[in-house]
Structure formats: C-alpha cells, structure tokens
Amino acid sequence: MDQLLRNPPAASAVVANLSRRNLLGAAAGALVLGIALPHRARAEAQGPAQGPAEGAGAIAQKPGTRVPAFLEIRPDGTVRFLSPFVEGGQGIATGMAQIVGEELDLDPARFQVECAPPGPDYAVVNGIRMTGGSFSTRSSYPLMRQLGATARDMLLRAAAARLKVQAAELTTRDGTVIHAASGRTLAYGALAADAMVLKPNEDAALRDPKSFRYIGKPVARIDVRDKATGRAVYAIDQAVEGMLHAAVAHAPHPGTEPVGLDNEAAVRAMPGVHSVHRLPGAVAVAADSWWRARKAVAALAVRWSAPKPTGLDTVAADFSSDGLLAGLKGSAETGHAAEAEGDAAAAFAGAAKVVEAEYAAPYLAHAQLEPPSALARFNPDGTLDVWLPNQMPELFQSISAKVAGVQPDKVRIHSPMLGGFFGRHFPYESGNPFPQAILLARATGRPVKVLWSREEEFARDGLRPLSFSRLRAALDAAGTPTAIEVRTVGEGPIGRYFGALMKTPVDPSAVEGLVEKPYAIPNR
C-alpha cells in the first residue's frame, strides 16, 4: 500500500494555497477556518462542486469545492475538526488533534474529530483520499500543522485588536490568549467572531519542535472513553426513524441468480416481516428487527439459476488451498524482476555458506470485529444518505450514485468510526452490503439497514491472496549476508482490486516487505 501513497504534499505547496483559496465563514459565533488542500485548484478548474455543503453552519462555498477542511472553534473553547481520514482503531483522530492542537495551542482532549464528507478538498495523498497504508499522518503532517498555526495567528490578531495592543505582545496557552503586561486574558471561544473576519496569514509561523507539548508525546486517546462506556457509534449502531432491518442470503455460486421462491407467502407471514426481495446474486428479507429478518431469510426455499460455465470445470486441478499452494511451488514461469542490485550470482558463487528457506502465506479473511453493514435512506428532496464503514468516501459516493441512479452530488456519505479494517472497507465486487441497502431502500420506500451475518461476511470477503516465497542468502566467512535472492509467486491484493493504478508489471503489494529493504546487503 505504501508504494501507492508516496510523495506526500510539500508544506510549501500547502502554504502557497492559503491566501489564494481560503474559505472563511461564521457559524453561531464560531470561527470556521477553511484551508486550501492540495488538488483544490484542479477541482476549481473542473467547474461546480458536487453536492451541498456540510459542516458547522453555513459556509460560503467557492466554485469547485464541496466541503473545505476546517476547524470550528466554538464559544465554549472546544474545537470540531473535520478529518480527511477515518478512525478505525489506529488512533488517527487523536493524531490529528495532536498535530493541529500543537500549533493551535489547544489540548487535544478538547477536540471533537469527525470524518469529513466526500469532497475534492480532502484528496491529500497524490490526488486520492484513502485511509490506509499507515500513511494518514505522513501524508498530512505539514498541512495539519499549517492549519493550526493559521488559526492561532488569526486569534492572536483578533485579540490584539480587542485589547488594543500589538499582536507581538501576546502569547497563548491552551485555548487562551494572554497579555502578560496587563494580566488580561481572552478565551479562544470569545474571540471566534472577531477572528472570523480576518484574512488568513499564509506566513503564520510554525512552532519550534523543541517546544512541542503534544506532538511526539504520550496523549490520551480522545475516543477511548466513549469506547469504554459503550457510547461509541459504529455503522452497526446507526439508526434513523422508520428504519427497517434486512438480512440477506447470497447465491451458492458467483454469477447465479434467484429464479424462484417456493415458500415466499409463508415467509411473508412470519412475525415482523415487512417484505421479501430478490437482489443481484442474493435474496433479502426486510423486517422490524434484524433477528426476525435473519430467521426469515434463512427459512426461504430459494431456487437458484445454474452456475455459468467458467472453463475451470474442464481443468483437472485441485482448487483446495493445498492444491493451489502446490501449484505456486511448482511454478516455472520467468516472472518479472522487482528489484536488482549488485551481482547476486557472483556473491552466491563465492559464498562461504548459503541459507535457504521457504515461506507460504495462506488465504486470510479480514475478520474484523464489526460485521459489514450499511444504512440507506432516500429523502423527499431526491437526495440519498448512506451510512457505512469505508476507507474511501468519494469512491463509495460514486458507486452509490450509480446504484441509485442519481448524480453523485445527491449522495451524502456518512463515515462512522470503523470496528477494525485492514483494507476490508473497500468496495470489493459483491463484498460490501451498501448496494443492497440502497436497492432495498428504493424498493421499500423506507430507510433500510443491511447487516451481514458472519457466514455471509466470510463467504463474500476480499481475501488476502495465497502466496509462496523461496529465499536464498549468501553469507561470507564471518557470517555476514552478502547477497539475498527471493522468488515470490502469487497475487497481490492491490493488483486485484486497483490494477489500473499500477505503473509496472510488478504488483507492489505482492512484493511489499521483500524489496527496498534498509539492510546493508549489497547484492539483491
């Protein structure tokens, strides 16, 4: 994943955009600071934005921007921060609060961090918005520091005007502007309305890292109390008025469809059942509770179409995990060179000792704690709301729009915190329930939440592929490695689902951890 997310935006590029494409508005006396993110210029050149603005109050929108990344400094001194990244247990919400809070001079504990809705402003990683690859902090660190510093500078200038002193005479401390000479202080919340009318300063100075109080320091996770007390809201906890619950049963073979329901009337008469539905490759029951829906769908007597010929039935092959692994071990294909440095052949020829080892990685399901779910609601104004765990809000917005038959600007994606992910929350083919929730909401005329059972989840997961690697290392007389040779056979998970992004025949996710190692082995 890291190989697709390299080259984070430079701080200079971020700063250069501040004065030209800043966004400033007010909401209930709060300071709402919009800051130009990379790729906004490209979005503005493409024309009007998609969708209505979301966020803290009414924010004046510039052409080409849907939602700016912004801070809302509230009258009580707390801060609401819309993050480009989704929290899934990795601590990014706390990390963002640390970085912004450091430059803003505000305790991270006073931050409320939410995942931002879709919009081009949040594409902070090479034009892509994605939470993954352990790259969120690395890709946004300069931007988040500048955001906090710019907001602090505006507050200082607002306080200087209020106190009739020079801004250079003022300091800050945890949400308070201090004029040491007179002993006067002003809280950030009290200054928000005044600061709102000021033009952001693109040259707002960053703090000296030697003075950091939050970055690089142990900080309590801002979400841990809600998680420990049961107040944390995940996708499976979402509920809206008039909502139906739905359970699904998928076809036993990919490509088969339901062609008959022999006991549909009996299932419709079961307690709590609202309706029975046929979906692409599945059947579903909507009911007043998920357990009733699950019992009903399990009771359906479904006749499925015959599996479509794939050609594999004519191949004498063992498709068990052991059989597939044996095929990888026996592969004699030339393959592609992923890395070549030095003269490995000569190093092996002169080695005092050669060490060999074989490693196999099996198919693995994600098996995250939170089972897949999605909630969809069509609104009277023609818009669609979708609540779902995801790692790429814009991509899910685009696909949801296609499923619903509406324009993307009519779709609002809500991204609650994730109950684990590791890449599970991408729109794998038939591996996510949100299209089913949209179709069922359309069919029933009511909001519908689909929750997959563990059986359905594991059967439809985008598994981590099987792979096999054979390693050889050449050692000199002192036991120091002089060369390493690796041959790996298998499919990379990135290549399968994001092959269009590949710039080379080598799938970087198939060799990640094998190439570009930092060890001083001269021949590879």
**Percent of all residues in the chain with a pLDDT value above 90, rounded to a whole number:** 65
Distance in angstroms (rounded) separating the CA atoms of residues 71 and 189? 12
* Burial classification of residue 516, based on how many CB atoms lie within 10 Å of its CB (0-12 exposed, 13-18 middle, 19 or more buried): middle
Where are the domains positioned within the chain?
2-153+213-225, 247-304, 317-363+465-511, 373-435+444-454
pLDDT score of 235 more than 50: yes
Second CATH level (architecture) for the domain 373-435+444-454:
2-Layer Sandwich (3.30)
Lowest mean pLDDT among 53-67, 287-301, 358-372, 419-433: 53-67
Instruction: Please give the pLDDT value at position 446.
Output: 98
Helix (H, G, I), strand (E, B) or coil at 177: strand
- Number of H helices and number of E strands within the chain? 15, 20
Distance in angstroms (rounded) separating the CA atoms of residues 278 and 271? 20
- Across 11-38, average pLDDT: 42
pLDDT score of 241 more than 80: yes
Lowest mean pLDDT among 4-18, 218-232, 349-363, 414-428: 4-18
Confidence of residue 34 (pLDDT cuts 50, 70, 90): low
Distance in angstroms (rounded) separating the CA atoms of residues 42 and 57? 26
Listed as own residue / partner, the contacts of 42-49 with beta carbons closer than 8 Å and 24 or more positions apart are 42/120, 42/127, 43/120, 43/121, 49/119, 49/120, 49/409
Query: Which residues are 33's β-sheet partners?
Result: 24, 71
Residue 506: CB partners within 8 Å, gap ≥ 6? Answer: 336, 337, 338
Confidence of residue 498 (pLDDT cuts 50, 70, 90): confident
2-153+213-225 is a CATH 1.10.3470 domain:
no
pLDDT score of 179 more than 50: yes
For 449-479, how does the pLDDT look when each residue is reduced to its tens digit (9 = 90+)? 999 999 999 999 988 899 999 999 999 999 9
Average predicted confidence (pLDDT) for the chain: 85
Distance in angstroms (rounded) separating the CA atoms of residues 128 and 142? 17
∠ CA 202-119-441, rounded to 5° = 160
pLDDT score of 38 more than 70: no
Examine domains 2-153+213-225 and 373-435+444-454 and report if their fold is the same. yes
pLDDT score of 20 more than 70: no
Lowest mean pLDDT among 4-8, 385-389, 447-451, 466-470: 4-8
Instruction: Please give the pLDDT value at position 175.
Output: 96
Distance in angstroms (rounded) separating the CA atoms of residues 379 and 365? 36
Query: Which residues are 485's β-sheet partners?
Result: 472
For 196-210, how does the pLDDT look when each residue is reduced to its tens digit (9 = 90+)? 778 888 788 999 999
The total of other beta-carbon atoms located within 10 Å of residue 415's CB is 26
* Burial classification of residue 158, based on how many CB atoms lie within 10 Å of its CB (0-12 exposed, 13-18 middle, 19 or more buried): buried
CA atoms within 13 A on the CB side of 385: 17
Q: Which of 243, 226, 244, 222 is nearest to 234 (CA)?
A: 226
Lowest mean pLDDT among 40-49, 80-89, 216-225: 40-49
Instruction: Please give the pLDDT value at position 56.
Output: 30
Q: Is the dihedral of CA 161, 165, 168, 172 positive or negative?
A: negative
- The two beta strands, 244-250 and 448-451, are parallel
Q: Report how far apart, in Å, the C-alpha atoms of 499 and of each of 134, 469, 496 are.
A: 20, 22, 6
For residues 45 and 258, the model is more confident at 258
Instruction: Please give the pLDDT value at position 106.
Output: 96
Q: Which amino acid is at 247?
A: A
Q: What's the length of the chain?
A: 524
Copy the structure tokens of residue 310.
Answer: 């794939």
Instruction: Please give the pLDDT value at position 31.
Output: 65
Extract the runs of DSSP E, i.e. beta strands, from 67-219: 69-73, 79-83, 111-115, 170-172, 176-179, 184-187
H-only helix segments in 364-392? none
Q: Which of 205, 288, 199 is nearest to 247 (CA)?
A: 288
- Across 58-80, average pLDDT: 57
Distance in angstroms (rounded) separating the CA atoms of residues 415 and 31? 24
Listed as own residue / partner, the contacts of 439-442 with beta carbons closer than 8 Å and 24 or more positions apart are 439/277, 439/279, 439/403, 440/244, 440/246, 440/277, 440/279, 440/284, 440/286, 440/376, 441/376, 441/377, 441/378, 442/378, 442/404
Distance in angstroms (rounded) separating the CA atoms of residues 137 and 92? 7
Q: Which of 287, 281, 283, 288 is nearest to 298 (CA)?
A: 283
Instruction: Please give the pLDDT value at position 59.
Output: 33
Confidence of residue 53 (pLDDT cuts 50, 70, 90): very low
